[in-house]
Amino acid sequence: MLQIQTIRDNKEDVILALGKRNIDAEPLIEKVLQLDENRRAAQTSLDNVLAESNKISKEIGVLYKTGKVQEANLLKEQTVKLKEESKQLGEDLNTAEEELQTLLYQLPNAPHASVVKGSTEEDNEEIFNEGEIPTLDSGAMPHWELAKKYDIIDFELGVKIAGAGFPVYKGKGARLQRALIAYFLDKNTEAGYTEIQVPHLVNELSGYGTGQLPDKEGQMYHVTADDLYLIPTAEVPVTNIFRDVIVNENDFPITYTGYTPCFRREAGSYGAHVRGLNRLHQFDKVEIVRVEHPSKSYEALDGMVEHVKNILRELKLPYRILRLCGGDLGFTAALTFDFEVFSTAQDRWLEISSVSNFETYQANRLKLRFKDENGKNQLAHTLNGSSLALPRVLAGILENYQTPEGIKIPEVLVPYCGFDMID
């Protein structure tokens, strides 16, 4: 969440930045600052009462030692009143802190200076594109028809077992899925990321730590009996490794990669744009997460973008990169680059990766800090990216690599698959 000191010192700048998200933040910011004043006033009053109580307690000790029992007893009556007053002030302080925290949780991150104001994905800026869009034969099919033709993904069976959005991968489809996971993990570890396996459920504190709660509560599957949430991305458990941690400045950069299934309760909709693998409730994703020194985080973000580029170059998929506008920017992100692969059979772009810098937003929630050269605690920066999300990568491969004889496997994946054609 945003730091209260930042809001206090740069109120107008914060309001303008949040305006890029099409938010009139001024009323909420003013309320935050008022609650902060209330909190600080309650803290000052409590500190004064506790100081007075401690002072009187010392005087009482001296009086008893010198035999002035009556005077000591009179002062003890004052300490009883001060204790009651401190209790009430403590309750007032807790209430003010809880109200302030609740309001701060409602404020999204302030966009980076390079982010433009916009309302929808139509306002995102294309900053890069690469790769040749193949020319397909007249009988080319979208991936959901290819999946049925070659019996590699069964969407109807998934509906029978769980419901819409839970596909069953079969035969060479399952092996291609596994190959992609292994390939992505290998590429990430070769780039210096440490592979990690994490739980697929998280507690409420973890959801709040990375900002999925309360913002995305309706989109997360909630196991109510145990008050646990199925993860929407590996970002949540991996980043929460550092909740309430003070890292060593010499440890930067801290880099992890992990594969997990991901679960999202997407709002129901219909049409070709959500058919097949285009939108799922359960899907596989390989994630990269970084904890960085604030002075290095944007250099790290550029490096993550280049890393995903290299993977797509090896897969030989046509892709583009978008810098998200304020209206399409995720709640916790300061700057996000989306990668989209071109689906030739669908004649549309499919999002396959988001690479984001959260600056101190998550670290403030997590209390993720480091000691600077002066020994003072500072908030770290956190970043994450999809490297990559599998469903639409798989859709892009099936559609762009289809031939009349079958579906070719990208050359870089053949050693992982053990075959070069789905036929």
384 annotated among ligand-binding-site residues: yes
3-state secondary structure the chain: CCCHHHHHHCHHHHHHHHHCCCCCCHHHHHHHHHHHHHHHHHHHHHHHHHHHHHHHHHHHHHHHHCCCHHHHHHHHHHHHHHHHHHHHHHHHHHHHHHHHHHHHHHCCCCCCCCCCCCCCHHHCEEEEEECCCCCCCCCCCCHHHHHHHCCCEEHHHHHHHCCCCCCEECHHHHHHHHHHHHHHHHHHHHCCCEECCCCCEEEHHHHHHHCCCCCCHHHCCEECCCCEEECCCCHHHHHHHHCCCEECHHHCCEEEEEEEEEECCCCCCCCHHHCCCCCCCEEEEEEEEEEECCCCHHHHHHHHHHHHHHHHHHHCCCEEEEECCHHHCCCCCCEEEEEEEEECCCCEEEEEEEEEEEECHHHHHHCCEEECCCCCEEECEEEEEEEEEHHHHHHHHHHHCEECCEEECCHHHHHHHCCCEEC
287 is in an annotated binding site: yes
| 233 among annotated binding-site residues | yes
351 is in an annotated binding site: yes
Is 15 marked as binding a ligand? no
The answer to whether 353 is annotated as binding is yes
Asked if residue 120 belongs to a known ligand binding site, the reply is no
Q: Is 30 labelled a binding residue?
A: no
Annotated binding site: 233, 264-266, 287, 351-354, 384
Annotated binding site for ATP: 264-266, 351-354
Annotated binding site for L-serine: 233, 264, 287, 384
